C-alpha cells in the first residue's frame, strides 16, 4: 500500500538513530508516507573487542543487510565510512545525502592542542588510522585503544581518565551533546579522514518498488556521491578494509575533483601520500594522475570517471610502496 510506512533499518546506537531520523524526516517529506525506524543489533554493537583487532570490515553492516534482504525493513542508513566497498548484487546504494563535516576533532578538558599535549598524556581512539595519526602528531602521548559511544568517550575526558579523545565532527553535529570541554578541529589537509567519513548511504534492495527508488533519488547529493565514489575506489584498489590505517578525502569544485590520500605505517613512522586534481569531464585518466582531453569520450559518465580516478590513485600509492604498510584482508 502506498500509504504504508517505509521501514528504515538502523543500528540502536544514539548516533545511528540520530542520523537515521534525519533521513527518515527528509524521506517522509518527499515520499508523502510515514517512515518508521526498525532498530537492528549488529555485531559491532555486541562485540566489544577493539576494532584494530577484529578488523571492522562489515561489522556494523552485515546484520543490517541480512535484515534488508529478509524483508525485515525496506531501507537501511549506514555511516558510509563503515560500509564495505563491495555492494552485494541484490542491494543498491540508492542515495548519498549531502555530506556533513568530514573532519576529525580533538576533545580535551583544557584546550591544549593535540601536538602540545605533555609527555604521557592519554589520547583515546580505536581506529588504526587515527592511532597512526596521533603517533605522528603527538609522539610523546600514550594512545589508548577505546570503544564506546560518543557520550562515554566524552565522559572519560571529563573525569580525567583520558586527556583527549579523537571523534568525528559529523557525529558531534548530529548528536549535539552537552559538554564543557574544548574542541580542536583538525584540518583535512594535514589530517585527512576515512573514506566516506561524514557521509551517509541509503541502501535498499535492487528490485525495490519504483516509487521508493524515485523518492530516495530525491535525497541524492551528486557532489557527495562523486567524492565518496573516488574515496571508496581508492580503498577498494588498495584491497584493504575500512579499518585500514589509510585516509582519503575528495572535494568537488565545478568540473574538477581534488583528491588527497595517505597510507600510514601503523606505528606512525612512515606515510605515503598523494594530492591530485582531476577533471570529471574526461573519460580517460592516465596513470600519472593527469587527464588527457584529446582522449575523452563524449558524454563520459562522471561516476565511472570518479571510480577511474580512485583506482588510478590507489595504483599510484601501491607503486610508491603502500602495500608494505597495509594489513591484508
Per-residue pLDDT of the chain (329 residues; tens, 9 = 90+): 457 999 999 998 999 999 999 999 999 999 999 999 999 986 554 444 454 454 455 667 889 999 999 999 999 999 999 899 999 999 999 999 999 999 999 999 999 999 999 999 999 999 999 999 999 999 999 999 998 889 999 999 999 999 999 999 999 999 888 888 999 999 999 999 999 999 999 999 999 999 999 999 999 999 999 999 999 999 999 988 777 899 999 999 999 999 999 999 988 789 999 999 999 875 444 433 434 333 444 456 889 999 999 999 999 999 999 999 987 65
| Residue 82 annotated as catalytic | yes
**Same domain? 63 vs 211:** yes
**Same domain? 90 vs 69:** yes
**Same domain? 88 vs 10:** yes
Q: Classify residue 193: in a domain, yes or no.
A: no
**Same domain? 157 vs 12:** no
Q: Classify residue 1: in a domain, yes or no.
A: no
Instruction: State the CB neighbour count (10 A cutoff) for residue 290.
Output: 13
DSSP state of 328: P
pTM above 0.85, yes or no: yes
**Same domain? 43 vs 108:** no
**Same domain? 89 vs 203:** yes
Q: What are the Cα distances from residue 67, in Å, to 10, 84, 91, 123?
A: 10, 17, 12, 36
pLDDT of residue 147: 82
Q: In what order do the strands lie in the sheet with 122-124?
A: 142-144, 122-124, 164-168, 104-108, 182-186
pLDDT of residue 299: 52
CATH number at 127 reads 3.40.190.10
pLDDT of residue 259: 97
**Same domain? 239 vs 113:** no
**Same domain? 207 vs 89:** yes
The domain tally of the chain equals: 3
**Same domain? 248 vs 167:** no
Cα–Cα distance, 192 to 168 (Å, whole number): 12
Give the ranges where the chain is alpha helix by DSSP (H): 14-31, 43-46, 51-54, 62-69, 128-137, 150-158, 169-175, 210-217, 222-237, 302-319
What is the distance of C-alpha 231 from the center of its chain? Answer: 9
| CB neighbour list of residue 324: distance below 8 Å, 6 or more residues apart | none
**Same domain? 93 vs 11:** yes
Cα–Cα distance, 285 to 312 (Å, whole number): 7
Q: Classify residue 192: in a domain, yes or no.
A: no
Which helix (DSSP H) or strand (DSSP E) does residue 94 occupy? Answer: strand 91-95
Cα–Cα distance, 306 to 229 (Å, whole number): 6
| CB neighbour list of residue 258: distance below 8 Å, 6 or more residues apart | 250, 251, 275, 276, 277
Cα–Cα distance, 32 to 53 (Å, whole number): 44
- Burial state string for 174-191 with b = 16 or more CB within 10 A and e = fewer than 16: bbeeeeeebebebebeeb
Q: Classify residue 57: in a domain, yes or no.
A: yes
DSSP state of 33: S
Q: Classify residue 191: in a domain, yes or no.
A: no
Q: What are the Cα distances from residue 10, in Å, to 7, 56, 269, 321, 329?
A: 10, 17, 38, 38, 26
Q: Classify residue 329: in a domain, yes or no.
A: no
Q: Classify residue 228: in a domain, yes or no.
A: no
Helix 302-319 × helix 222-237 angle, to 10°: 30
Range of the domain at 62: 6-97+199-220
pLDDT of residue 2: 58
Q: Classify residue 313: in a domain, yes or no.
A: yes
Catalytic residue among 82, 104, 163, 308: 82
**Same domain? 204 vs 265:** no
CATH number at 291 reads 3.30.160.40
**Same domain? 75 vs 210:** yes
pLDDT of residue 54: 43
Amino acid at each position: 500500500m502506498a500509504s504504508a510506512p517505509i521501514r528504515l533499518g538502523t543500528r540502536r546506537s544514539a548516533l545511528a538513530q540520530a542520523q537515521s531520523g534525519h533521513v527518515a524526516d527528509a524521506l517522509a517529506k518527499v515520499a508523502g508516507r510515514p517512515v518508521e525506524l526498525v532498530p537492528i543489533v549488529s555485531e559491532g554493537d555486541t562485540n566489544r573487542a577493539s576494532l584494530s583487532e577484529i578488523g571492522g570490515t562489515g561489522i556494523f553492516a552485515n546484520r543490517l543487510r541480512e535484515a534488508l534482504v529478509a524483508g525485515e525493513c525496506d531501507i537501511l542508513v549506514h555511516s558510509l565510512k563503515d560500509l564495505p566497498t563491495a555492494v552485494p548484487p541484490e542491494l543498491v546504494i540508492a542515495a548519498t545525502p549531502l555530506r556533513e563535516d568530514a573532519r576529525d576533532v580533538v576533545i580535551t578538558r583544557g584546550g591544549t592542542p593535540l601536538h602540545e599535549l605533555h609527555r604521557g598524556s592519554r589520547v583515546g581512539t580505536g581506529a588504526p588510522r587515527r592511532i597512526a595519526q596521533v603517533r605522528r602528531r603527538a609522539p610523546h602521548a600514550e594512545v589508548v585503544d577505546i570503544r564506546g559511544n560518543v557520550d562515554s568517550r566524552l565522559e572519560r575526558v571529563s573525569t580525567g581518565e583520558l586527556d583527549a579523545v579523537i571523534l568525528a565532527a559529523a557525529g558531534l553535529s548530529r548528536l549535539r551533546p552537552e559538554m564543557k570541554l574544548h574542541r580542536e578541529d583538525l584540518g583535512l589537509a594535514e589530517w585527512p579522514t576515512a573514506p566516506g567519513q561524514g557521509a551517509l548511504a541509503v541502501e535498499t534492495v535492487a528490485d525495490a518498488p519504483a516509487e521508493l527508488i524515485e523518492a530516495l533519488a530525491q535525497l541524492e547529493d551528486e557532489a557527495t556521491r562523486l567524492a565518496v565514489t573516488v574515496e571508496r575506489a581508492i580503498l577498494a584498489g588498495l584491497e584493504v578494509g575500512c579499518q585500514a590505517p589509510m585516509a582519503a578525502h575528495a572535494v568537488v569544485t565545478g568540473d574538477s575533483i581534488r583528491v588527497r590520500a595517505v597510507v600510514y605505517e601503523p606505528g606512525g613512522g612512515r606515510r605515503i601520500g598523494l594530492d591530485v586534481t582531476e577533471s570529471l569531464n574526461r573519460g580517460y585518466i592516465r596513470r600519472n594522475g593527469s587527464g588527457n582531453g584529446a582522449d575523452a569520450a563524449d558524454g563520459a559518465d562522471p561516476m565511472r570517471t570518479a571510480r577511474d580516478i580512485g583506482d588510478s590513485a590507489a595504483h599510484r600509492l601501491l607503486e610508491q610502496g603502500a602495500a608494505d604498510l597495509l594489513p591484508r584482508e
